[in-house]
Chains A and B, each alone.
Chain A
Amino acid sequence: MAADRAPDGAVLSATSGALLAAALALPGVAPGLAMAQAAPEQGVIALKYLDYRDWQPGEARMRVRAPALYVLKPLSDSVAVEGSLVYDSVSGASPLYFNTLSGASGIGITEYRTAGDIKVTKYFNRMAIGVGGAASSERDYLSRAASLDVRVFSDDRNRTYAFGIGGENDRIDSVNGIAVGQRRHTVDVLLGVTQVLSAQAIIQSNLAYSAGHGYYSDPYKLLDTRPDRRRTLAWLTRYHQHLPGIDATVKVSYRYLHDSFGSTSHTAEIAWVQPVPRGFTVTPSLRYATQSAADFYFDPPFPAGHVPGALYTADTRLAAFGAITPGLKLAADLGGGWSADVKLEVYRQRSSWRLFSDGSPGIAPLSARWIQAGIAKVF
């Protein structure tokens, strides 16, 4: 009889908890579990406050305080809107602001910037299309930008191709009257691919090309004269690896960047995301950047034999240097969809920290530190 047959010899080859992990991929079996790259099912509202200070020998300190708001809201199963708003107040002097309003004290002046962006994304079965706009307004600078990005998902959703195009129109009216009604137009294109390598690893690589023309000089810097065209090629690769044994995630990224001003930079970042008991997550991070100087950068003193109108800048941002940013972020899951985080980063720029070659000897070492504190609610 059938029921009395010999044992079947089936091999039970289970790994611990394998079925639970598999079942969690079924749609809607547990609250708040979404598949990667699907339309967001939950909204997010986040508020952050940034306190930034920097200092350089011989320069006054600059302080920036900036509250920022971010909202993501699904409008339907397949449409989501997200936007952010930031309000900067910049007080004190900086390499940028040092010559601003040179008749005034220079210290205690506060400049304001208001910036916002909004993006609507429509998700289809195998792709998502996003349309965005952004604007930033300061007393002497107005920027408006629009973008279109398309992401195409592979059948198994393990690969995503990204195509983006953006345009930006800027208008510069410096308060010292050097630049009046000056404009700058930029077009950006981006090609990217995101590949899930395994259940524990994901990699993204983006190639971005930017071409702009218009006014690039700094009207607040004496004799600053830059080309009226700038092309930039950036190649960014990011890799995230989850380590199941200790439930940690390692994030690394590398960016190569070269622009037609003649500056080449390499930027590497690593962060370790470590959940700890009681709903806390600790994330130490380290960033290193090294850049070569622009072709028309000259260290002080002012170059002898300079022809008026020839390309020239002494802007330290276009100098050759290396910079290191250690950081630490602490995040807490407060339950009920609430979370809070605080992050401290310390930035130091030194000409001697440049890799591959010497830094610009004339730049003063810049230091900065910033703290951001935020709270977010998922709804």
Chain B
Amino acid sequence: MVLYRFEFAAMACANELQLWGEDEADVRRAAEFAIADVRRIEAKYSRYRADSVTSAINAAAGGAPVPIDAETAALLGYAERCHRVSGGLFDITSGVLRRAWNFRRQPPRVPSDSELAALTPLVDWTAVEWNERAVRLPRAGMEIDFGGIGKEYAVDRAATCCAERGLAHGLVNLGGDVRVMGPQPGGAPWRVGIRHPRRDDAALASVELFEGALATSGDYERFFEIDRKRYCHLIHPRTGAAASTWQSVSVTAPLCVVAGSCATIAMLARESAEVFLASQAVDYLMVDAHGACRGPLQPAS
């Protein structure tokens, strides 16, 4: 068997597939299917594209219901479950808080209470009216986005796509969200490095994966610092506060979409993070505000 590597750009990330296979044409075909599906999901759900499903739903906020297909309904269903198990911490309507938390503004500044208070009525997943066929955002200005689910969902689908084409040994990595299909040939695990939350060029640890997924959420993806205090892009949906308890949370789970949503919820869950992660029966490695690691995930040195 030969290891084939495919690198591609999508979802504003550098991505790669590593696939072991006997026949290059077979592997290449599987990779093409997987990459096409990633691009399909990006086109369908990106909030940066005016013709996406997400944009159509957001553009109709306060107006008529927007018809949706089964895939979109399933994603909304998963988002609802995340909202429920997180006590509302995971809320796909919270993206409007970015209007106050502008990470591109120079110089950066922390939004005022009144700026946030003006937006909080627009953050309320429970107000969204939806069923299997249609969704309606009840208030003008409301938005949803599939950040925290969409890319991870694409990882899982890409892995399934390859597995269903007979590739039993492979790895999908979309911008750091990883899923492996089985160990490497011969049974060796895949070694996946976890980025150090404070050093761009260093690995904090490496984790051995035989099967399943690893996703990391951290305060280093988009942030600014004022007076040596870091404000990251993960915003509490009700208080409008930036998450600050953890520098990063890495989670392993059977599916990437589970690992990703658990990591996001844990980042927002402050001191309840470990209780939450344990309740989801996932393993994790968390870095607290002082840089100390904790969690059952044993980093291979």
Residues of A within 8 A of B (CB): 1-5, 7-8, 10-20, 22-32, 155-157
CB proximity of A157 to chain B, nearest CB, Å: 8
Check A29–B157 contact: CB distance below 8 A: yes
Q: Which 9 residue pairs of A and B lie closest in terms of their CB atoms, listed nearest first?
A: A29-B156, A22-B81, A10-B87, A14-B279, A14-B85, A11-B87, A28-B157, A17-B281, A12-B276
Task: Please indicate the chain A residues that have their CB under 8 angstroms from the CB of B240 in the complex.
Answer: 2
- Cα–Cα distance between A18 and B83 once the two chains are bound (Å): 12
Residue ID in chain B nearest A18 by CB atoms: B85
- Cα–Cα distance between A5 and B272 once the two chains are bound (Å): 16
Contacts A13-B84, A28-B161: A2 and B74 contacting too (C-beta < 8 A)?
no
Q: Does B39 contact A (CB under 8 A)?
A: no
Residue in B75, B85, B89, B255 whose CB lies within 8 Å of A24:
B255
Q: Does B49 contact A (CB under 8 A)?
A: no
Q: Does B121 contact A (CB under 8 A)?
A: no
Contacts A2-B110, A18-B280: A8 and B239 contacting too (C-beta < 8 A)?
yes
Task: Please indicate the chain A residues that have their CB under 8 angstroms from the CB of B164 in the complex.
Answer: 31-32
Residue in B89, B241, B271, B280 whose CB lies within 8 Å of A17:
B280
Check A29–B255 contact: CB distance below 8 A: yes
- Cα–Cα distance between A331 and B269 once the two chains are bound (Å): 45
Check A8–B238 contact: CB distance below 8 A: yes
Contacts A10-B269, A28-B161: A19 and B262 contacting too (C-beta < 8 A)?
yes
- Cα–Cα distance between A11 and B78 once the two chains are bound (Å): 19
CB proximity of B154 to chain A, nearest CB, Å: 10
Check A2–B78 contact: CB distance below 8 A: no
Residues of B within 8 A of A (CB): 70-71, 74-75, 77-78, 81-82, 84-89, 110-111, 113, 116, 131-133, 153, 156-157, 160-161, 163-164, 229, 231, 236, 238-242, 244, 253-255, 257-258, 261-262, 269-272, 275-276, 279-281
Check B239–A12 contact: CB distance below 8 A: no
- Cα–Cα distance between A7 and B156 once the two chains are bound (Å): 34
Check A10–B89 contact: CB distance below 8 A: yes
Check B78–A20 contact: CB distance below 8 A: no
Task: Please indicate the chain B residues that have their CB under 8 angstroms from the CB of A26 in the complex.
Answer: 74-75, 78, 153, 156, 257
- Cα–Cα distance between A28 and B38 once the two chains are bound (Å): 12
Task: Please indicate the chain A residues that have their CB under 8 angstroms from the CB of B272 in the complex.
Answer: 10, 12
Check B160–A29 contact: CB distance below 8 A: yes
Check B156–A30 contact: CB distance below 8 A: yes
CB proximity of B114 to chain A, nearest CB, Å: 11
- Cα–Cα distance between A23 and B110 once the two chains are bound (Å): 35
- Cα–Cα distance between A25 and B78 once the two chains are bound (Å): 8
Q: Write 9 A-B pairs (CB below 8 A) sorted by A numbering.
A: A5-B241, A13-B85, A16-B279, A19-B258, A25-B78, A26-B78, A30-B254, A31-B160, A155-B133
CB proximity of A18 to chain B, nearest CB, Å: 5
Check B132–A30 contact: CB distance below 8 A: no
CB proximity of A26 to chain B, nearest CB, Å: 5
Residue ID in chain A nearest B112 by CB atoms: A2
Check A20–B281 contact: CB distance below 8 A: yes
Check B87–A12 contact: CB distance below 8 A: yes
CB proximity of A175 to chain B, nearest CB, Å: 53
Task: Please indicate the chain A residues that have their CB under 8 angstroms from the CB of B74 in the complex.
Answer: 25-27
Task: Please indicate the chain B residues that have their CB under 8 angstroms from the CB of A23 in the complex.
Answer: 78, 156, 255, 257-258, 261
- Cα–Cα distance between A20 and B259 once the two chains are bound (Å): 9
CB proximity of B241 to chain A, nearest CB, Å: 5
Task: Please indicate the chain A residues that have their CB under 8 angstroms from the CB of B236 in the complex.
Answer: 8
Task: Please indicate the chain A residues that have their CB under 8 angstroms from the CB of B111 in the complex.
Answer: 2
CB proximity of A39 to chain B, nearest CB, Å: 12
Check A12–B275 contact: CB distance below 8 A: yes
- Cα–Cα distance between A234 and B111 once the two chains are bound (Å): 70
- Cα–Cα distance between A249 and B262 once the two chains are bound (Å): 31
CB proximity of B275 to chain A, nearest CB, Å: 6
Check A20–B253 contact: CB distance below 8 A: yes
Check A3–B242 contact: CB distance below 8 A: yes
CB proximity of A125 to chain B, nearest CB, Å: 8
Check B132–A155 contact: CB distance below 8 A: yes
Task: Please indicate the chain A residues that have their CB under 8 angstroms from the CB of B84 in the complex.
Answer: 13
- Cα–Cα distance between A16 and B89 once the two chains are bound (Å): 18
Check A155–B131 contact: CB distance below 8 A: yes
- Cα–Cα distance between A20 and B261 once the two chains are bound (Å): 10
CB proximity of B29 to chain A, nearest CB, Å: 17
- Cα–Cα distance between A3 and B101 once the two chains are bound (Å): 12
Residue ID in chain B nearest A2 by CB atoms: B241
Task: Please indicate the chain A residues that have their CB under 8 angstroms from the CB of B156 in the complex.
Answer: 23, 26, 28-30
Task: Please indicate the chain B residues that have their CB under 8 angstroms from the CB of A2 in the complex.
Answer: 110-111, 113, 116, 239-242
Check B77–A25 contact: CB distance below 8 A: yes
Check B78–A22 contact: CB distance below 8 A: yes
Check B160–A19 contact: CB distance below 8 A: no
Tell which of A13, A22, A155 has the most Cβ of chain B within 10 Å: A22
- Cα–Cα distance between A31 and B158 once the two chains are bound (Å): 11
Residue ID in chain B nearest A32 by CB atoms: B164
Residue ID in chain B nearest A11 by CB atoms: B87
Task: Please indicate the chain A residues that have their CB under 8 angstroms from the CB of B244 in the complex.
Answer: 3
- Cα–Cα distance between A19 and B238 once the two chains are bound (Å): 22
Task: Please indicate the chain A residues that have their CB under 8 angstroms from the CB of B275 in the complex.
Answer: 12
Residue in A10, A16, A24, A31 whose CB lies within 8 Å of B86:
A10
CB proximity of B76 to chain A, nearest CB, Å: 11
Task: Please indicate the chain B residues that have their CB under 8 angstroms from the CB of A4 in the complex.
Answer: 241
Residue in B113, B116, B161, B261 whose CB lies within 8 Å of A19:
B261
Tell which of A1, A16, A17, A29 has the most Cβ of chain B within 10 Å: A29
Task: Please indicate the chain B residues that have their CB under 8 angstroms from the CB of A32 in the complex.
Answer: 164
